[in-house]
Chain A
Amino acid sequence: DAGVIQSPRHEVTEMGQEVTLRCKPISGHNSLFWYRQTMMRGLELLIYFNNNVPIDDSGMPEDRFSAKMPNASFSTLKIQPSEPRDSAVYFCASTRTDGNTIYFGEGSWLTVV
C-alpha cells in the first residue's frame, strides 16, 4: 500500500498568497484528518472527515482556513490569504471508521514569508 500521500512536501510562499495542500488517503479508509504541527503548540487536529463529510472542524483556526473532501480519495486544505504564523507542518492522516490505527502522511512543510 502506498500509504497516505501528501503534496507538496515543501512550499514557500509570500504572505497573502493562497496555499492549497493536497492529500490522498489510504484506499479503503473512510476517515480523514488534517493536523498541524508547530513547536509552540505541538500537534493540533484541524478537521476530521468521515465518509467525505466534515464531522468536526472546531480546530480550524479561522476563516482563512478551509478544507474539502470531494471524494473518498482526495482532500484539500486551503489557506487564503496566508500569513507568516501559518508556517508549520501540515499532516494528513486516515483510518477506517471501525479501525483503531491512524496512519499519517509525510507532511507538507509550509513556510510563509
Chain B
Amino acid sequence: AQSVAQPEDQVNVAEGNPLTVKCTYSVSGNPYLFWYVQYPNRGLQFLLKYITGDNLVKGSYGFEAEFNKSQTSFHLKKPSALVSDSALYFCAVREVNSGYSTLTFGKGTMLLVSP
C-alpha cells in the first residue's frame, strides 16, 4: 500500500521569505512523486513531479522539490514566497510499476503568505 503524510495543516510565511511545505511518503518499491496546488474554488493544478534522475525537481511558478530517498521525503520549496502563492498544496505518490495509474494524495497543507 502507498501513503503520503503532510504533517502541517497550515504553513505561514511572510512575502519574500523562503517557504517549505513538507511531505513524506511510503511505498513498497520506488515512487513517482507529485505536487499539486489548489486555488480557492478551483481544481487541482499540477506543479511538478519526480520520476527519475536529478533529485532536485523544478516546476511551475518558481517552485522546486527535493527527493530524499533515505528520508522518504519530497518537500516543496520556494526561495521567495509571493502572496499569490497562498493556496492548498497536495503531495501525491504512485508506486513505480504498480500497474495502476492512481495517485494517493496527502491531506493537503494550506499555505498562507502574508504581505
Q: Evaluate contact between A43 and B100: CB separation under 8 angstroms.
A: no
Cα-based distance from A103 to B104 in the complex (angstroms): 14
Cβ-neighbour of B45 out of A31, A33, A104 (below 8 A): A104
Chain A interface size range = 20 to 34
Cβ-neighbour of A100 out of B41, B43, B94 (below 8 A): B94
Cα-based distance from A41 to B106 in the complex (angstroms): 11
**Shortest Cβ distance from A95 into chain B, in angstroms?**
5
Annotate A73-113 by CB proximity to B: 1 below 8 A, 0 otherwise: 00000000000000000010101010111111111010000
A to B CB contacts below 8 Å, 30 in the list: A31-B101, A42-B105, A43-B90, A43-B108, A45-B102, A48-B101, A48-B102, A50-B100, A50-B101, A55-B100, A56-B100, A56-B102, A91-B43, A91-B44, A93-B44, A95-B101, A97-B101, A100-B34, A100-B49, A100-B94, A101-B34, A101-B46, A101-B49, A102-B103, A103-B46, A104-B36, A105-B43, A106-B42, A106-B43, A109-B41
Instruction: List chain B positions with a Cβ less than 8 A from chain A.
Output: 32, 34, 36, 41-46, 49, 51, 90, 94, 100-108
